[in-house]
Chain A
Amino acid sequence: MSPAPPRRPATHRQAPGLARRRENLPGYLFLSPWLLGLAVITAIPMLLSLYLSFTNYDVLTPLSEAEWVGWDNYRRMFTDDPSYWHSVRVTVTFALVAVPLKLAAALGVALLLNKVFRGVGLFRGLFYLPSLLGGSVALAIVWVSMFNRDGAFNSLLSIVGIEGAPWVNDPKWALETLMLLAIWQFGAPMIIFLAGLKQVPTELYEAASVDGAGAWRQFVHITLPMLSPVIFFNLVLETINGFQGFTSAFVISNGEGGPVDSTLMYTLNLYINGFVRLDMGYASAMAWVFLLAIGLITVVLFRTGRFWVHYSDSEGR
């Protein structure tokens, strides 16, 4: 029989101050809906889709009848499905063209707007409006009609004597009209640029003018480096979004990726394989490759960011 351990004074068990108190029970109570969602809506489906990517499954039969096929789906994707690689090409082209142009438009307009003193709020709001509306089916419908053979765009061109193409029905131009729709929504990154520009200390420009630096040199040597964290932020966000374009590609091609697969964005291809052909195993494999690709691109962006993103010391990172 050992003697009961001496009671430790309460002050040892817990510091009397408020600062370091633990709140385990309320913490987990408040977090519980999120934790449940993380498990059921995110984690389990991710694992399920990893499993499915190695099976043949058409969703109509119970899950237990999914047929294990090993690496077949991945093999087919990489070696035996031209439309897969085609959709990769379409998506990468879209992101490589639309994202830089959208960011350039956003930065350009933000620079113009930054020097305007009256009506900034109104301009800012009007430029932002397309970002709110542009992702909708309704606007994609308008866009498609505008770039039809006898749409408004060709009517405008005919005024200046140019004969336009049937843009949305022309495999050469269909993807470009979608890019234009994405660029049209430059308002959201513009607002972030504008906030970033406001943070650049004006003394830097004053000092530079004293030293005789012109507008261009000030832009290259002050604005761009000071803005680089914001540029980086927008670049990551827009790239990830750019790879996921679905709605406009669906509307322009009536869900088929046409004309001649020219608008077969990756996510549209995934939808067609999963929900039209009911090839859920193959579509799951596509989803996992997509996830890894997006992850890889994000890592690469962060790695290269080290070389050109300038964080001022006051910001800490």
Chain B
Amino acid sequence: MLVRRRLRVLVLLLIVVVVLYPLIWMVGTSFKSPQEIASNIGLVPETFTPSNFTNGWNNFDVSFGRFFLNSALVSILTVAGNVISCLLAAYALGRLRFRLRGLWFAVMIGTLLLPGHVLIIPQYILFRTLGWVGGDFPYLPLLVPQFLATEAFFVFLMVQFMRGIPRELDEAATIDGANPYKIFQHVILPLSRPALVTTAIFSFIWTWNDFFRQLVYLSELNDYTAPVALTLFIDSTSESAVGPMFAMSLLSLVPVFLFFVAFQRLLVEGINTSGLKG
């Protein structure tokens, strides 16, 4: 029995090594000089080459700092949009009784499975007609949908969460003379904090990692977000660009990694309550 238990842990450790290998290799490579990238197979660089980071940072006409700022702007505003709009929709669908609620709930569930790629072309045409694509604030097409609760996953997650809040609280508040707005403000909003935090974290990570929509809507180098800028490295696959490419790739994963370290338990619970994807 003890032997089997040890064997099990040993196998798991082996899987951990295989799973983490690409990540560790990535960290090591981003500190290797061009010669070493070609010759040194090991994970640890013989000579640390931090210049990969400065070279990568200044590799294009626009500094990578700008790309990270753009990414942060889009991600943070997306978080705000998702948290606010999905919370409002979830309160209606999860707690209030009104005409056709069942129908709207079913529609919301239907949009859960709607592939985003299907809508990208007509949305692009629509936003272009409105003058939003490449306009003064080129992130409008990326942000406006997020303020209209179009991420059904988060609406669903919050509905599920709010259904767990005891109805007696609402009823007690109603007896005390509270209307649905007061109940929202004083009962549901404070009690929904865990769901809001989960939404905020996933929303940040997904937007930070998102590529397809940012690729479609951003065309000026100045406006590029980090993922779109990273693809510029692929065009220039000269040997000397590999180190800087790795360094910037590594940097771009740091925020997600920090979120992971800080909120690991919440993320895991978030997946379990709603089946959210990472």
Residues in A lying within 8 Å of B, measured CB to CB: 18, 20-24, 26-38, 40-42, 44-46, 48-49, 52, 59, 62-63, 109, 112-113, 115-116, 119, 121, 123-139, 141-146, 150, 152, 155-156, 159, 184-185, 187-188, 191-192, 195, 233, 237, 240-241, 243-244, 246-247, 250-251, 254-255, 267, 270-271, 274-275, 280, 283-284, 287-288, 290-291, 294, 298
Contacts and interface: CB of A to CB of B under 8 A. Distances in A.
Interface string B115-129: 111111111111011
B130 to A, nearest CB: 10
Contacts of B99: 22, 24, 27
B184 to A, nearest CB: 7
B250 interface: yes
B41 A21 contact: no
Contacts of A275: 124, 216
Contacts of B268: 124-125, 128, 191
Contact of A150 (B38, B116, B256): B38
B196 interface: no
Contact of B227 (A33, A63, A137, A291): A137
Contacts of A134: 278
Interface SS of A by simple majority: helix
A179 to B, nearest CB: 15
Nearest to B43: A152
Residue from the set A36, A59, A141, A250 with the largest chain B CB neighbour count within 10 Å: A141
B113 interface: yes
A291 B117 CA distance: 9
Contacts of A18: 171, 174-175
A141 B245 contact: yes
Contacts of B149: 33-34, 37
Kindly list the 3 A-B residue pairs having the minimum CB-CB distance in the complex, ordered from nearest. A37-B148, A27-B98, A131-B278
A42 B250 contact: no
Interface stretch (B6-14, B44-52, B58-66): B6-14
B85 A184 contact: no
Contacts of B245: 141
Contacts of A284: 121-122
Contacts of A144: 234
Interface centre among A23, A59, A126, A271 (most CB of B within 10 A): A23
A170 to B, nearest CB: 16
28 contacts: A26-B181, A27-B92, A33-B88, A42-B119, A46-B119, A48-B125, A49-B118, A113-B12, A115-B8, A116-B12, A126-B20, A129-B260, A131-B277, A133-B253, A135-B278, A138-B253, A142-B246, A145-B29, A152-B41, A184-B19, A243-B115, A244-B116, A254-B234, A255-B231, A274-B121, A290-B115, A290-B118, A291-B118
